[in-house]
Amino acid sequence: MKAIILAAGEGSRLRPLTYGIPKALLPVRGKPIIDYIIDNISKCKKIDEIIVATSYMQDNIKNYLLNTRNDFDIRIVNVLGMETGGDLKTIIEHLGIKEPILVAYGDVLTDVDISKIIESHDKTKGLVTLGLFEVPKEEISKFGIAEFDGEFIKSFIEKPKEHTSNIASAAYYIIEPEAFDYMSFGRHKIEHILFPRLAKMGEMRGVLLNPKLWIDIGTYHSYMKANKMVEKLLPPE
């Protein structure tokens, strides 16, 4: 199975840090965040290739990975920065991918168990299987929130102001290429367009995970918080 890391964002909320370095290469405890993501993916033996989607400062990411990561089959693909949905659809069409793929976001630091998402997808056979975790109810407006019955995701809302569920997307999921038949080409966030549609169709499954670490480094505040959390939660290398 292939994995795609979406690392095309400009990191505008992290400026001025990202004026000189792409978000995916920002160090957390001295180690670029993309290395944490690759290390977590490589724990799953079913993944045999990682595709890194780049756009902003793409040469920096490409040069770093080609000169430091010779332990895994990594391919760099340049995209147009058309948000999660647009970039994923472009990659799948361009590379002619026919099998299910794992998607990971390049600004999320977590130790989610990828094998559990794959196992769940193999059993339930939906178009998408989304890794889920519980978040404090006062923070639901920061996440994509799912109405989840233990197998099916009945609805999905990105960053709702109010919601009865506190089950959130862990930003790791398995998706079948044919899922993109339900979304046109363009600048789309998959969480806004495709996920709600697939949930209504009954084609979206979920698996509840229990990561000890999950943080989006998309803002300066969360980036600084990530450095403190990693120091406490992950063992030294």
Per-residue pLDDT tens digits for 133-175: 999 988 899 899 999 999 999 999 999 988 779 999 999 999 9
Amino acid sitting at position 23: K
What residues make up the domain containing 84?
A: 2-232
- Structure confidence at residue 233 as a pLDDT band (50, 70, 90): low
Residue 139 inside a domain? The answer is: yes
16-69, pLDDT tens digit by residue? Answer: 778 888 889 988 888 899 999 999 999 999 999 999 999 888 889 999 998 898
Asked whether the beta carbons of 152 and 208 are under 8 A apart, the reply is no
Residue 118 inside a domain? The answer is: yes
How does DSSP classify residue 187?
Answer: S
155: tokens are: 């609805």
Q: Is 213 in a helix, a strand, or coil?
A: coil
Q: d(Cα 163, Cα 179) in Å, to the nearest integer? A: 26
Amino acid sitting at position 211: P
Q: d(Cα 107, Cα 33) in Å, to the nearest integer? A: 7
Residue 18 inside a domain? The answer is: yes
Query: For the chain, what is the domain count?
Result: 1
Average pLDDT estimate for 214-228: 85
H helix or E strand, kind and range, residue 76: strand 74-78
- φ, ψ for residue 21 (rounded to 5)? -150, 135
CATH number of the domain enclosing 134: 3.90.550.10
Residue 237 inside a domain? The answer is: no
Is 81 exposed, middle or buried, given 0-12, 13-18 or 19+ CB atoms closer than 10 A?
middle
Asked whether the beta carbons of 5 and 51 are under 8 A apart, the reply is yes
